[in-house]
């Protein structure tokens, strides 16, 4: 098994990342000790026949129609045939036992270069493969490096258009039946849930790498209608990929996972050949269909793989430690990432977290959001970095109380990296953490962060009307986000109340709904927040429209509580 290798490398990089993020110092050891240790290992290897070759892949890039792989080694080649070999593995493969089909070879030494064909668009396509360096012994081939994936799939994309930059960060979870209202509100961002497990069927045939897959025409055309209606009106669309339980598509579920009544969605499966091939084909189909090439289908610019993955209620695979959980998730995430970036080079791909930064984590079914970020980044450092982003959900704590500015009274909010919960009032904890060098993109930029699900209730369990507080909370939260340079978008939940949520004391809508029809979402009456939402990003009306909120929050000026307040020069 090869997966023992990455754990050592990832752990080392995780420690380095932690020191960097915490401002720790770097310690350099005396190289003389290392030389003596290597000599001792070499002598021991000669005596026992063991292999002490170690290697690491430092680069794995597409260049034209080829893949160029660069590696480093300690140069200790005792008990081998003196060569370094590069093996190709699919995401579901992790064992070289019995393998002799190496993809390339190089002379043993401290550095090695390998060149191999990409085989793009064929049954031997290597775009999604991972690679490992091995040596040959009397027992066969033995892996001596961690896995490494191609890190620049975007160079193969037909669509090289720049990312569509909206005019503001203002977003809303919309109802398709209320598009006219959304346009009147000036919505710049919206989202659509794509039920990954329900789109296979009949009516649309799609060929990928020599195989034909069949998609449900009615389901796909309903997504076409929704996505194109938004993107054709210059609304930036975010697609959330959700993998539910469907007995007709068992290969989309990780083997060994059982259906649970309290689980909403499941971990995508790339752990088997059938699961990988099906997941890859669906991901490629979606990426191509919503690339913007056909205006009747529309354009998706942001893709979120799963929902609130730090809680397995939303991304279930069964109780497991965080190392295995994040490794399994990242392998699936990377398949989507590769499909998306190899189609539209500048689309953005995210994973989603709820507001539990450390809170409620049990290490088996729930994990801290910070830990997910740490492990995801450390594994990617070893196996090949990606341009990943974070889609965060900073609801008030608790969600049934719209007044988030007193959430520190819960004991769950502090203004530091150890805070149990990170929500609007301490949102800088998230953005400051991701702004540290350990988490930045390879080009030095801060990773993309979007707030893709959050809302404020206009009522409570007693049925009281709290719509003024709801509107004030939205104004305060939007100004906090708009003044934070590291957040790209803020998608509010929701345009119209959902009856199922209202019955739980959660009336998030800009509109009330018809509670006499619990299976439908029918708008009835606008709330105060509707006006605030419409004007919040309008330079001429924003301060006037939000004036009422100051007395509710207990402030004289917005700039007193919002660092770098965008409209401070207009305040009186």
pLDDT in tens, 368-401: 999 999 999 999 999 999 999 999 999 999 999 9
**With left for phi above 0 and alpha for psi between -120 and 50, is residue 269 left, alpha or beta?**
beta
Report, as an integer, the average pLDDT of 202-217. Answer: 95
Cβ–Cβ < 8 Å for 491, 172: yes
For the chain, give the percent of residues with pLDDT over 70.
92
Write out pLDDT tens, residues 239-260. Answer: 999 999 999 999 999 999 999 9
Query: Which pLDDT does position 46 carry in this prediction?
Result: 53
- Write down the domain spans for the chain: 3-149
Cite the DSSP H helix spans in 342-388.
369-383
Which of 23-37, 445-459, 494-508 has the lowest average pLDDT? 23-37
Cβ–Cβ < 8 Å for 294, 322: no
For the chain, give the percent of residues with pLDDT over 90.
87
Torsions phi, psi for 548 (to 5 deg): -60, -30
Alpha-carbon dihedral 474, 476, 477, 478, rounded to 10 degrees: 80
Query: Which pLDDT does position 7 carry in this prediction?
Result: 40
Write out pLDDT tens, residues 495-508. Answer: 999 999 998 899 99
- Separation between Cα atoms, residue 540 and residue 520, nearest integer Å: 37
Cβ–Cβ < 8 Å for 167, 186: no
CATH class given for the domain over 3-149: mainly beta
Report, as an integer, the average pLDDT of 76-104. Answer: 97
Write out pLDDT tens, residues 111-151. Answer: 999 999 999 989 899 999 999 999 999 999 999 999 999 99
Query: Which pLDDT does position 360 carry in this prediction?
Result: 97
Query: Which pLDDT does position 279 carry in this prediction?
Result: 97
- Separation between Cα atoms, residue 510 and residue 422, nearest integer Å: 25
Q: Which residues pair with 571 in a beta bridge?
A: none
Cβ–Cβ < 8 Å for 345, 160: yes
Query: Which pLDDT does position 354 carry in this prediction?
Result: 98
Reported as a pLDDT band with limits 50, 70 and 90, residue 469 is very high
| Residue appearing with tokens 């209730």 | 457
Query: Burial code of 165-180, b = ≥16 C-beta within 10 A, e = fewer?
Result: ebebbbbbbbbeebbe
Q: Which residues pair with 171 in a beta bridge?
A: 189, 491
DSSP assignment letter at 275: H
Query: In the predicted model, what is the mean pLDDT of the chain?
Result: 92
Cα-based angle 389, 392, 321 (whole degrees, multiple of 5): 80
- Is pLDDT above 70 for 15? no
Write out pLDDT tens, residues 519-565. Answer: 889 999 999 999 999 999 999 999 999 999 999 999 999 999 999 99
Query: Which pLDDT does position 462 carry in this prediction?
Result: 84
- Is pLDDT above 80 for 339? yes
Query: Which pLDDT does position 348 carry in this prediction?
Result: 98
- Is pLDDT above 80 for 33? no
- Is pLDDT above 90 for 18? no
Instruction: Locate the DSSP E strands across 314-465.
Output: 348-353, 388-392, 449-454
Query: Which pLDDT does position 49 carry in this prediction?
Result: 75
Query: Which pLDDT does position 10 carry in this prediction?
Result: 45
Write out pLDDT tens, residues 413-444. Answer: 999 999 999 999 999 999 999 999 999 998 89
- Is pLDDT above 60 for 211? yes
- Grouping H, G, I as helix, E, B as strand and the rest as coil, residue 155 is helix
Judge residue 551's burial from the number of C-beta atoms within 10 Å of its C-beta, 0-12 exposed, 13-18 middle, 19 or more buried: exposed
- Is pLDDT above 70 for 8? no
Query: Which pLDDT does position 4 carry in this prediction?
Result: 38
Reported as a pLDDT band with limits 50, 70 and 90, residue 463 is confident
- Is pLDDT above 50 for 29? no
**With left for phi above 0 and alpha for psi between -120 and 50, is residue 345 left, alpha or beta?**
alpha
Of 160, 163, 187, 164, whose CA–CA distance to 176 is shortest?
A: 187
């Amino acid at each position: 098994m090869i997966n023992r290798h990455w754990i050592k490398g990832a752990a080392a990089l995780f420690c380095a990342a932690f020191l960097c993020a915490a401002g720790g110092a770097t310690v350099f050891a005396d190289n003389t000790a290392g030389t003596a240790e290597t000599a001792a290992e070499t002598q021991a290897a000669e005596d026992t026949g063991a292999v002490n070759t170690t290697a690491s892949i430092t680069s794995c890039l597409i260049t034209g129609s080829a893949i160029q792989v660069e590696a480093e080694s300690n140069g200790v080649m005792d008990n081998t045939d003196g060569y370094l070999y590069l093996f190709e593995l699919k995401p579901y493969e992790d064992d070289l036992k019995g393998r002799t089909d190496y993809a390339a070879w190089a002379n043993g030494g401290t550095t090695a270069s390998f060149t191999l064909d990409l085989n793009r668009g064929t049954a031997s396509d290597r775009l999604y493969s991972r690679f490992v360096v091995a040596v040959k012994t009397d027992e066969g081939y033995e892996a001596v490096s961690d896995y490494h994936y191609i890190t620049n799939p975007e160079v193969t994309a037909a669509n090289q258009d720049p990312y569509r930059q909206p005019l503001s960060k203002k977003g809303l979870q919309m109802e398709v039946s209320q598009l006219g209202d959304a346009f009147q509100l000036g919505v710049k961002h919206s989202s659509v849930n794509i039920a990954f497990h329900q789109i296979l069927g009949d009516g649309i045939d799609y060929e990928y790498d020599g195989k034909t897959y069949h998609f449900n025409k009615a389901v796909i055309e309903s997504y076409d209608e929704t996505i194109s209606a938004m993107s054709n009106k210059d609304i930036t669309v975010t697609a959330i990929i959700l993998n539910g339980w469907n007995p007709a598509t068992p290969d989309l579920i990780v083997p060994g996972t059982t259906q649970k009544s309290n689980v909403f969605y499941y971990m995508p499966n790339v752990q088997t050949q059938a699961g990988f091939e099906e997941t890859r084909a669906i991901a490629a189909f979606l990426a191509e269909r919503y690339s913007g090439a056909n205006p009747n289908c529309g354009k998706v610019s942001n893709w979120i793989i799963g929902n609130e993955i730090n809680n397995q209620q939303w991304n279930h695979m069964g109780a497991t430690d965080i190392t295995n959980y994040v490794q399994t998730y990242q392998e699936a995430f990377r398949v989507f990432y590769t499909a998306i970036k190899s189609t539209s080079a500048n689309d953005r791909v995210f994973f989603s977290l709820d507001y539990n930064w450390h809170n409620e984590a049990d290490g088996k079914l729930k994990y801290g959001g910070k830990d997910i970020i740490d492990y995801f980044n450390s594994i990617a450092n070893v196996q090949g970095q990606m341009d990943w982003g974070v889609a965060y959900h900073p609801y008030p704590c608790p969600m049934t109380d719209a007044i988030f500015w007193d959430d520190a009274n819960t004991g769950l909010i502090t203004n530091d990296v150890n805070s149990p919960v990170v929500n609007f009032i301490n949102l800088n904890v998230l953005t400051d953490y991701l702004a540290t060098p350990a988490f930045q993109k390879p080009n030095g930029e801060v990773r993309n962060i979007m707030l893709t699900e959050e809302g404020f209730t206009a009522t409570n369990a007693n049925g009281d009307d709290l719509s003024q507080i709801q509107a004030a909370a939205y104004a305060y939260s939007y100004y906090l986000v708009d003044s934070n340079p590291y957040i790209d978008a803020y998608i509010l939940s929701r345009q119209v109340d959902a009856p199922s949520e209202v019955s739980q004391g959660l009336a998030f809508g800009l509109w009330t709904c018809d509670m006499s029809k619990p299976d439908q979402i029918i708008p009835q009456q606008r709330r105060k927040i509707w006006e605030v939402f419409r004007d919040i990003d309008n330079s001429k009306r924003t301060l006037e429209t939000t004036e009422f909120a100051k007395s509710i929050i207990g402030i004289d000026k917005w700039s007193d509580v919002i660092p770098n307040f965008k409209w401070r020069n207009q305040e009186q």
